[in-house]
Amino acid sequence: MPDLTEQSASLFDRASAVTPGGVNSPVRAFRAVGGVPRFMASGDGCHITDVDGNTYVDLVCSWGPMLLGHAHPEVTAAVQEAVSRGTSYGTPTRPEVELGEEIVSRTPVDKVRLVSSGTEATMSALRLARGATGRAKIVKFAGCYHGHVDALLAQAGSGVITLGIPGTPGVTEATTADTIVLPYNDQAAVTAAFAQYGDQIAAVITEASPGNMGVVPPLDNFNAFLAKTCKDNGALFISDEVMTGFRITKSGWYGVDGVVPDLMTFGKVMGGGFPAAAFGGRADLMSHLAPEGSVYQAGTLSGNPIATTAGLTTLRLATDEVYARLDETSATIRQLVTTALSKEGVPHHIQNAGNLFSVFFVESSEGAVTSAGPIRDFAGAGAQVLPRFAAFFHAMLDAGVYLPPSAFEAWFVSAAIDDDALAQLETALASAARAAAAVEN
Ligand code: PLP
């Protein structure tokens, strides 16, 4: 038997010598599932191929951006043409104007500012919210991830309304002292927080539909409730659509619930596989930003012409037909997963927000496939049989399907997934479900 991970293992050793943990972003390291992370060498459509020559059906899609699949011919051609004219000038360029126009036309924001990562987008949106309101406190929800912004790397303390405690060494108590962490989907907790701190709260930030604790959609018009509560208290409502934007619908989760936020953040799909992200909102709020206003925000590579060309080309290709296809593919995969797991008696829940979904390996399942299932918050998402996911993940990998290497992540589909890939997925799921069933609870 050839060693199918020889080259990946060798690169991982070399990477570990020069990079902490051998990776440039922690979840890539396979710590949650064990084993050697695969080093990818190429991608084509719905497939990625590693340095040992193993090809996988890709259900990570670079954690969201690759909506159209890998190396889409038109995106590749547009990027190559742009690169041939130079890669960065530090001046305004046409594609960033056109990308800004495309975002404004798809979403409720009046104006956008382009940045290079989702982290920068949420960090800048918070600064703008604080600058515009003159208030300090921020409300966030446990289990929502907004990038590695210091003030947002806060964990909830033991009470329902608690000021955040630093979620990682290196973030000081002073930095999270103005962050209030609440349980997700809990309107009473929000009401209580505003009763206590209402005139000090600059903004509530939430994932439009959370995908970073697994997919846990907002229940009972939670976003509309947040928007109204903010409005009534002079605070701003920030909807983080970095993951959901331009993926779930042409706009994002906004296309599902129609709640108009004061500020929004975007990333992932809008960069077409390059580092591009944005934050935007009402014109009067955005006018607080330098050089129009006094809230400072900047970036050497912001609106980079290659990244904006890739993003613009991707968005222009992401038509209604593409979103219909993504929805259909996602529904088919969800059905294949639940059929395979049910056949082997593996308890699970599958929750989805449009085409974004995740599989929770819970202790028992009732009504296994529901869009707004029983997992409503971070505590619920945590109650999973993690060794079962690890066995499932590795069996899928061995059968040529690349899943997110953590039980707390969304699965991402691309429009490039075809019938052959679905057939491969069905075969892989049969063996993976058996592997999961073999794990004792
Ligand atoms: N916001 C959300 C909802 C995200 O899912 C992410 C990343 O996964 C971010 C912000 C941070 O984006 P980036 O990794 O580009 O900094």
SS (H, E, C) 319-388: CHHHHHHHHHHHHHHHHHHHHHHHHCCCCCEEEEECCEEEEECCCCCCCCECCCCCCCCHHHHHCCCHHH
Which ipTM score applies to this complex? 0.99
Q: 338-361: string of b/e by CB count within 10 Å (b at 16+)?
A: bebbeebebbbbbbbbbbbbbbbb
Q: Does ligand 1 lie within 6 Å of residue 122's CB atom?
A: yes
Q: Give yes or no: 268 in active site.
A: yes
In what side-by-side order are the strands of the sheet with 55-58? 40-44, 47-50, 55-58, 401-402
Residue 403, pLDDT score: 98
Verdict on whether the full-model pTM lies above 0.90? yes
Amino acid, single-letter form, for residue 387: P
CB of 379 closer than 8 Å to CB of 189: no
CA–CA separation, 332 vs 72, rounded Å?
23
Q: Give 257: exposed, middle or buried? Use CB within 10 Å, 0-12, 13-18, 19+.
A: middle
Q: Give yes or no: 220 in active site.
A: no
Nearest-atom index, ligand 1, CA of 147: 11
Q: How large is the angle between the packed helices 222-233 and 187-197, nearest 10 degrees?
A: 10
Q: Does ligand 1 lie within 6 Å of residue 240's CB atom?
A: yes
Q: Does ligand 1 lie within 6 Å of residue 212's CB atom?
A: yes
State pLDDT tens for residues 285-340.
Answer: 999 999 999 999 999 999 999 999 999 999 999 999 999 999 999 999 999 999 99
What is the Å distance from ligand 1's center to 195 Cα? 30
pLDDT at position 370 over 70: no
Amino acid, single-letter form, for residue 84: S
CB of 418 closer than 8 Å to CB of 46: yes
Q: Give yes or no: 145 in active site.
A: yes
Q: Which residue has the tokens 């108009």?
A: 260
- Three-state SS at 34: coil
| Extended strands (E) in 59-123 | 111-115
The chain-wide mean pLDDT, for the chain, equals 94
State pLDDT tens for residues 25-50.
Answer: 999 999 999 999 999 999 999 999 99
